[in-house]
Amino acid sequence: MKRIRLTMAQALVKFLDNQYIECDGVETKFVSGIFGIFGHGCVVGVGQALEQGGHNLKFYQGKNEQNMALAAVAYAKQMNRKAIIPCVSSIGPGATNMVTACGCATANRIPLLVLPGDTFACRQPDPVLQQAEFFDNYGRTVTDAFKGVCHYYDRILRPEQLMTACINAMRVLTDPADTGAVCLAMPQDVEGEAYDYPEHFLQKRVWHLDRRPITDSQLERASELIKCSEKPIIVCGGGVRYSGCYKELQSFAEKYNIPISETQAGKGLIDWKHPLNLGGIGVTGGKAANVIARDADLVIGVGTRFTDFTTASKWLFNENRKVLGINICPFDAYKMDAEAIVCDAKEAIIALTDSLSGYKTAYSNEIASAKAEWDSIVDDYYTKELPGGLSQTLALGIINEFMADEDIAVGSAGSLPGDMQRLFRAKNPETYHMEYGYSNMAYEINGALGVKLACPENDVYAFCGDGSFMMGHSEMYTALQESLKLNICIFDNMGWGCIENLQNNQGTDTFGTVFRARNPKTGMLDGDEIPVDFAKIAEGYGAKAYTCRTSDELRSALADAKNQDRTCLFDIKVLPKTMTPGFESWWRVGVAEVSESETVAAAYKDMQENISKTFDY
């Protein structure tokens, strides 16, 4: 057996450089670059291995470990989980900064490989700089925090352990049913230790994304369930995108006249103008999908996790409905007490299309009527001018109308995801990129960088609240560094608007959710507004910036930005409380059972009444 003597870090770089994935006969490189922020726990290990060359990995210089890892999540999501950018950090805070991003990746079923530095395996220099000591277990380090948010975790204590660690890491990263965050913690002394690695470990390795077929018995059960239904509805989830079956799903719906509703991850795959596409469903859904879903006798979930926002906290569907769960992941297929069909979504939809001969739903004009009403509602939100300033929904409509068919919208947290699932009209498949499994504030700008790395030829628009911008925008500098143009749309409503709405709707007066100065008279945060000039912040980075207070100013800024060759930021000053309301939905939150407030008591009573309309499973 031929061997080559390398440090653990050098072998890791060579291994990553030779990983490929194959799906439907198409083979692509799985790792083409690495994000990193160098510190004493990695710069002389992985940093040295990258610097000496002999590989084809492009190094991207992150500015904050959480933010670069969020960019990596977005990259993998936009690449439909067929490519990743691993993230390297030093020990201590550099490592734990990535924990949140790992939670985001795992919640969204997105592959993310993090490579945090760790304390010395030999323990001789301990305690080293940035090492947190645990008195109950000397072997415990801060990287143990990754165990709670990763699908696979390993600490490489000897250089030869790299081989099994890497194989298992890739096993999870390329498994559509079990993917998520993976952490390989690397003690800084081990990074530099050498071993005679077998050459076959470092050679090109192809991971096959084989489609799991639907079995005959599964097809029989699913077909019978559909044939017995009169008014089914399809819930199109993110699995439809990752399986690449949105064309097949549309043909299936057309053949049997079944309406389609969209989750955040499944939105935009079917043309919004399609007569069977009712739009978003659930808490942040629209009236059309929610009204039709309420009367449906069968819910066909395709590649969806059936989150509380999709099911309106298991309140949306009627008590006589049945559920068919088509999902590659058994954990998701069995949700909602569903008839679980564990297989690839594309395989299932193609088979079902051929197996329902003679079937016809009982819908007459309900679908067209609901869709027409909803389209009219969206048109109104997108065009209505309000006295006193610019509304959030009008600003969204202006940007949506301006964007070209191939432009990509990126969002994540605050009130914008609700507005976007309800109102946004994606013009092409895979141009609506919403992280709403973790609703990770600070994802938007950093995620836009990841999307731009995945699709450099497309214009990318980040939809971001002022609160999210404050939490993390460091990778704006990385975009400028890499000459990647982002369009950052900040909707500044002077606070956490959606949480203030939630607070008020559940009976509590505004408290801690708007951005104001401390009032010396009351001692509360209800003093004067402290306006933030986000445009100046962007200009300080070197970006082109615009301040927009009217619809005309926004339209003019968008047109001018089209001619710019660098990142542009739109500081859009919108009126508070001008987002969309809920439509025929309910969301369960933990309202106080005991309160001196009559409005809180009323909200608790209302919650109990709605809980009585939900179903336990």
pLDDT at residue 421 in the model: 97
pLDDT at residue 44 in the model: 96
Distance CA 483, CA 477 (A): 10
Digit-coded pLDDT (tens) for 244-276: 999 999 999 999 999 999 999 999 999 999 999
pLDDT of 615 above 90: no
pLDDT at residue 616 in the model: 77
Digit-coded pLDDT (tens) for 159-169: 999 999 999 99
pLDDT at residue 532 in the model: 95
Digit-coded pLDDT (tens) for 552-581: 999 999 999 999 999 999 999 999 999 999
pLDDT (average), residues 322-332:
97
Residue showing tokens 């053949």: 255
How many of the other CB atoms lie within 10 Å of CB of 200?
10
Helix 392-402 vs helix 551-561: angle between axes, to the nearest 10 degrees? Answer: 30
**List of residues 6+ apart from 125 with CB closer than 8 A:** none
Say if residues 44 and 186 touch (Cβ distance below 8 Å).
no
- Provide the pLDDT confidence category of residue 617 given band limits of 50, 70 and 90: confident
- Provide the pLDDT confidence category of residue 1 given band limits of 50, 70 and 90: confident
pLDDT (average), residues 589-610:
93
**Is beta strand 194-198 parallel, antiparallel or unpaired with respect to 3-7?**
antiparallel
pLDDT of 210 above 80: yes
Tell me the pLDDT of the chain averaged across its residues. Answer: 96
pLDDT at residue 343 in the model: 98
Distance CA 190, CA 91 (A): 13
**List of residues 6+ apart from 180 with CB closer than 8 A:** 105, 106, 109, 110, 111, 112, 150, 151, 172
Distance CA 179, CA 176 (A): 6
pTM for the model = 0.97
Residue showing tokens 């072998």: 11
What structural domains does the chain harbor? 3-208 (3.40.50.970), 216-370 (3.40.50.1220), 384-494+531-573 (3.40.50.970)
Give the CA distances from residue 384 to residues 127, 392, 452, in Å, rounded to whole numbers and listed in that order. 62, 11, 32
pLDDT at residue 566 in the model: 96
Q: Which of 31-35, 63-67, 68-72, 499-503 comes out lowest in average pLDDT?
A: 499-503
Helical segments of 52-108, H only: 65-78, 93-96, 99-107
Digit-coded pLDDT (tens) for 53-104: 999 999 999 999 999 999 999 999 999 999 999 999 999 999 999 999 999 9
Cis peptide before 127 (omega within 30 of 0): yes
Buried b (16+ CB within 10 A) or exposed e, 559-568: eebeeeeebb
pLDDT at residue 368 in the model: 97
Digit-coded pLDDT (tens) for 406-464: 999 999 999 999 999 999 999 999 999 999 999 999 999 999 999 999 999 999 999 99
- Provide the pLDDT confidence category of residue 489 given band limits of 50, 70 and 90: very high
